[in-house]
Amino acid sequence: MRLPTREPFTTLLELKGNGALLPLYAGVACGARKSLDDWIPLRALAAFRQCLDGLGLAMIEDCIFERLPIERRIDGLAQAPTTHARGLPMQRAAEASPEARVHVFVAGSPRWAEEALRAFSYPVAIPEDRLLIRPRIDATRVGAAFGYPPCCIAAFMRWNNWFERSHFSVVYRSQRVADWQVNCLPRNTPFMAIFHAPCSASCTASFRMSQQVVEAVAEFDSEYAESIVASLKGEFLIVNEAVVYKLHGAEVDGEMAVSFREAESLIGMRSVSRPQVAKVARLLDGADWLELDAGLLTVRGEGEERYYEVDPTSGWVDDPCLIRFQ
């Protein structure tokens, strides 16, 4: 996969320090979505704002994120398992560490940036012992502020509970093959087009948003856009929302069996440290073939056969499924 080599992506990449959400900046600039949120190194904030000015985008700061040790116990963590950061208000920026990042909203207009700020409170640890979880109804306001399709917002409210179901599996289980434009699985990588989970694998609003984002990226860097599309196509294994793999070089070997060259984790979340994450990683290490059969994942590689069986008592709900995007 080829990272962008043209502006404004190269500057954004340098200032952000990572390629996450890069395509969405083009999406916001072209109007495919109203706003996005991101985390910018505190030391790069001024330069980042200047870069956005050049793109005609507005930015508003929320708060500063400081890392907490992954093993740190925080009250409320069960409700926001991917969040493991301490929050500081901007006025205390002088106290922040060199590694601190600022949670910002980037939007097509100052009004939309303000709308996002009002709607979205990130559940950081304030102080260090509790996560300030927001009321669940606010997810609808956040989705509206970002410009997500209303159907997808409604689906999120209905299905997004990691302890009850795997939302990704609910979305993609109905079809064995789907269009790449509705693929949100690489959303934590630089090769993505939509961050939200579509309400279904045939959601036309999500299809349209994804297409618009890729086209907007292509306006700046056509090769980067091609890499994004290539990344969104292929065979994917979903175990739960935090355990997702792309199976490179995949070839179908039966309805629910594939051979592959390499399994790439698409997790990308430092804070996710559940046992299932490690278990599946060990399972797929060195593997070149897998089959799904009624909740049992059979994997072969290096001359041995291994199994991953869904454990209904394990906390996060596993719901393995295979989906191919083309």
Partner 1 sequence: MAQVDWLNGQHTRLLAVQLSAVVDELTEHGRGEAASEELAAAWERFCSLDAVALRGALEDPATHDWLSRARALLDSPVLRSCGRHHLDRLMLRFPVLLMNVAHLDSRLASGRLTLLGSGVVPAYGGTVWLRPPTARRTEIRWKLEERLRVEDARGRLLLELSEDDGSWLGGAAEGWSWEFASEVRGMALFRRPPCVAHDFARDCADSGQQLRSSLATLPSPTRRVLRRCFRAAGPSCREHPFDAWSWLVLEEAPGSRHLTESLAASLVGRCGEVYRFGGGGELATQVGLEPDALRQVIADELESGTALAAESTLSQAIGVCRSPAAGRRRPAARDRGGLDYSMAMSRAGVGSIGGDRQVHEKTRRLDQSPSWRFLDLLLQVPHERLGRLRDALDVEKEGEVRRFGLACLDYHEGRFEDGLRHAVACVELDEVCEDYWLLAAFFARHLGQHGRFEDIVFGGERSPRLLAELRQGSGEER
**Contacting residues toward partner 1, per CB under 8 A:** 63, 69, 71-73, 75-79, 87-89, 91-92, 114, 117-119, 121, 126-138, 141, 157, 163, 273-275, 313-316
What does 243-302 look like in DSSP terms, one character per residue?
A: EEEEEET-EE-STTEEE-SEEEE----TT---HHHHHHHHHHTT--EEEEETTEEEEEET
CB of 115 to partner 1, least distance (A): 10
- The smaller minimum CB distance to partner 1, of residues 67 and 306, is found at 67
Q: Is the CB of 63 or the CB of 184 nearer to partner 1?
A: 63
Could you tell me the smallest distance in angstroms from the CB atom of residue 178 to partner 1?
29
Range 261-265, long-range pairs (CB < 8 A, 24+ positions) = 261/288, 263/237, 263/287
Query: What's the closest the beta carbon of residue 179 comes to partner 1, in angstroms?
Result: 31
Judged by CB, which is closer to partner 1: 30, or 272? 272
Choose between 128 and 226: whose C-beta lies nearer to partner 1. Answer: 128
For residue 135 the two structure tokens come to 């009321």
Element (H, E) at 215: helix 204-220
Q: Per the structure block, which two tokens stand in for 320?
A: 């393995």
Least Å distance between CB 223 and partner 1? 41
Tally Cβ neighbours within 10 Å of residue 45. Answer: 19
Q: For residues 71 and 308, give the distance between their C-alpha atoms in angstroms, rounded to a whole number.
A: 25
Q: Which is nearer to partner 1, 87 or 143 (CB)?
A: 87
Q: How many residues does the chain have?
A: 326
Nearest approach, Cβ of 314 to partner 1 (angstroms)?
6
Nearest Cα neighbor of 47 from 80, 16, 21, 88 is 16
Q: Which amino acid is at 299?
A: V
Q: How far is the CB of 119 from partner 1 (least distance, A)?
A: 7
Which CB sits closer to partner 1, 53 or 75?
75
